Structure 1
């Protein structure tokens, strides 16, 4: 029985290793952020990210093993992120993960990064039970997923252009905030005057569950260029932008719940840590006599814990990788095979 899994995450600019034990829960969690490495460039530089993963992944795994007080023979399986993400970054974690599994004579499994995010609320004491609607909001993805059971996913809608996290970061850069700016923009919005500016709620006047945030970003830019350049104006624009994003996501979530008839909502990904979004969706679900679930902030961004957990679920369901090492920089979530158990 596979109960103790090492998880490795190297899909972008976070380097992570964690160990999840089915009986004890999360027993080790190590993370190295590359933010300082990429700040001078205003965004992630793929080649620099890959090289840093080469330097940091093995020491992080060693730190996780030490933190858990485990040796190689205590690990029952190795999970690594295989996609989606940056090809060069993914191949580092995949190569190390597959090599360790071979050396330790345990099975390996390639984990879908977004399934890891989707399952991150399972790391909490209060966990969602399928069926539920999942809102996945990160720097690279904005998706609504119908989850009838773990491993059985149907994409209901997704972004046609910028992901919501990407729109947050680009708007933050416009307002003069450092990279990554999403959380900084949310802090700035707290000082904004509600209603001074009203931004559009994109694609809410038409039916469907698709998203588009590129135009909203442009609207923020035009508003900024046509107004006064002072701190209060920046705060007001940040507030208007955040309000528009949050209400747009709420409207689409409500539609998805109406279409599916589900009474539970899960939100995951980096943007799910946004306090305004949590409060808005919490109030909406309370009015609907439903429930909303999300992970603590440290498990909203990329982390090894979610990969270890998702890997354990997949390994217990019979998933195994052969000796080939491959990554999937583009990997639709609904192409994942269903779990046998």
Structure 2
């Protein structure tokens, strides 16, 4: 628990709640737009989610939850956030009384997802939680239970499942235009030298498998439209001085029904970003398959999957907002995040047993 406490203390957990009205607050927005509060103002919130919210049609950035008081003035100035919509980790529960906020988006280190997603649900707000959903399957189930108990919607931030070319791949898993799927490869990774400290911390949910590996795992599942029945895995590192607690590289094999095998690889020490599906009568690929933009591919019959021009995060958040507005199921529910983490736990178990094949 010490690492988690250190993270929160360094983030300025005990920031006093601001109460004075902010002079530059935004004018009232159309009722169709949902107010979103971002929990955690790290790279993904700052560089991707907040800018993407400016491009959405059905939601807008109205609040922030942060333990870094020095960040608040810039966020308020840039996005017109009222003082009354600024929270810290300690007083976040009081967001329950704020009608400006409809959705809380949890964008924190993996080990903190469950605690703050549950806080969000208990505050009566819809919950968007970044991937991976949590560190353990037990934590995932606790988030699902909290959202069900409070009758709020829960969506996991698998943006790729909202992306047009990825959705084509998912459709082909059902229609099989190139015959039965025989096997696939899913590789996701990058060579990192300046990796966030928490991603190197085992207790906080660090490691390549939790971070990049979930892309490979989820890609294998949505490319086949099936659930794996067995897994085997190994983990290695070429920089033990840096990766002394977590995996730098994880190689895992997923066995699916109908004899389909997925060979997957993920790493913080290797640049790779490709999804290949081999079928009885050809095949297709996406390269890159999980980049923030420019996802593209090609099929063996010459079909070209051109890059989709829209902002991925904006599409994801609008899809999730519409599910709330229209009271229909979300595209990527908590159960989807849970399925991945059940497998991730087995991957780590297999790696600890020298690659032993484990049934799922």
- The answer, yes or no, to whether TM exceeds 0.5 is no
Larger helix share, 1 or 2: 1
Coarse TM-score class (shorter-chain normalised): 0.3 to 0.5
TM-score for both structures, normalised by structure 1? 0.40
Greater RCO, CA 8 A, separation 6+? 1
